[in-house]
Structure 1
Amino acid sequence: MSTLARRDRGADLVSRFGRMDRIFDEWMRSLPMRRPFGLGWDWPGEDLIRVDEYRDGATEVIRAELPGIDPDEDVELSVTDGVLRITAERRIEDKTEDKGYLRHELRYGSLTRSLPLPEGVSDSDISATYKDGILEIRIPIPEQTGAAEPTKIAITKG
């Protein structure tokens, strides 16, 4: 008797590689580097949300650093294809030109971060809170049921 196991040949390889590409790009931008003198604020890594990610029992916790942002208006959390995406926008004051700045180093603009979710996570179970500039996302991790048994297919002689 022979056993055939069905394998996913990656019908959606393009989307999988695209997702990996985005995650790798964000990881590269997060590496510490020095800004060469004279470069503008669009240096890689400036638009990346910094996070701490850890497990608390059966819950994955993501803490994102978002000071000075109104979570009701300027933060969006979404889940697509097993990836959690955090998008935020820091807005500049309308009247900055007449304040007489000698130095203006506060960053403004869009910030993003994409993080892969554990297998089997239900989008409806994810919760988020914001306090003191920290966005905390809690993701309950479902129990792993182990490897699936291969389906056995009988072979008939013809």
Structure 2
Amino acid sequence: MSALVPNPRFALPSLAAWLENPWPFAEHNPVRIEESKEDNQYVVRAELPGFDPEKNITVTAHDGLLTVRAEREAKETGDGRSEFYYGTFSRTVSLPAGADADQISAKYADGILEITMPYSEHPREKQVKIQVERD
């Protein structure tokens, strides 16, 4: 029998990290979101404190998906300690049927990005005109 040898490149997470993310082997994503449907609006709020929304945050809607992407560059702090997360982070959510991504808007205040778009529980049907080709 061979003994298990610990991998020196793998360190167990701190208790704080474990409480924040109970699955330490999964990739950590600090972009926390909440979704709701309010007053005929589909609303997604993303918690993004410390980001510059004009430089470091992008929002895209494509093929029924909404993606929030944020980037934070590491800064040299000398011999200090940092528990900040650096790099590029993104969250993608599926848009519900009835959400109109063509009318999307976003605003950022107090570290919260709020994305809204019109939403209808009963989206209108679009009738397609049939072109008839004659011989």
TM-score, structure 2 as length reference: 0.68
Please name the residue that 2:122 is paired with.
144
**Structure 2: any 5+ residue segments left out of the alignment?**
1-19, 127-135
Aligned residue among 77, 96, 99 for 1:118 = 96
Cα deviation per residue 1:102-130 (whole Å; 9 max; x = unaligned)?
x2211111111111112243333111000
Secondary structure at the aligned position of 1:73 is classed as: helix
Segments ≥4 residues shifted beyond 4 Å: 145-148
Cα deviation per residue 1:5-45 (whole Å; 9 max; x = unaligned)?
xxxxxxxxxxxxxxxxxxxxxxxxxx94164xxxxxxx524
Q: Structure 2 CA distance, aligned partners of 1:133 and 1:49?
A: 11
Asked if 2 retains the 8 angstrom alpha-carbon contact of 1:130 and 1:136, the reply is yes
Please name the residue that 1:33 is paired with.
22
Please name the residue that 2:59 is paired with.
77
Asked if 1 retains the 8 angstrom alpha-carbon contact of 2:42 and 2:99, the reply is no
TM-score, structure 1 as length reference: 0.59
Q: Structure 2 CA distance, aligned partners of 1:132 and 1:52?
A: 16
Mapped pair 1:135 → 2:117:
no
Aligned residue among 48, 51, 58 for 2:33 = 51
**Structure 1: any 5+ residue segments left out of the alignment?**
1-30, 36-42, 149-158
Point out the structure with the larger helix share: 1
| 1:131 Cα offset (Å) | 0.5
Q: Identity percentage over the alignment?
A: 36
Mapped pair 1:108 → 2:82:
no
Distance 1:47 1:124, change over 3 A: same
Give the partner amino acid of 2:68.
I
Give the partner amino acid of 1:109.
G
**Bigger relative contact order, structure 1 or 2 (CA pairs below 8 A, ≥6 apart):** 1
Please name the residue that 2:10 is paired with.
none
| 1:134 Cα offset (Å) | 0.4
Point out the structure with the larger strand share: 2
What CA RMSD, in Å, does the superposition of the two structures yield over aligned residues?
A: 2.5
Cα deviation per residue 1:50-84 (whole Å; 9 max; x = unaligned)?
10111212111111000100111111111111100
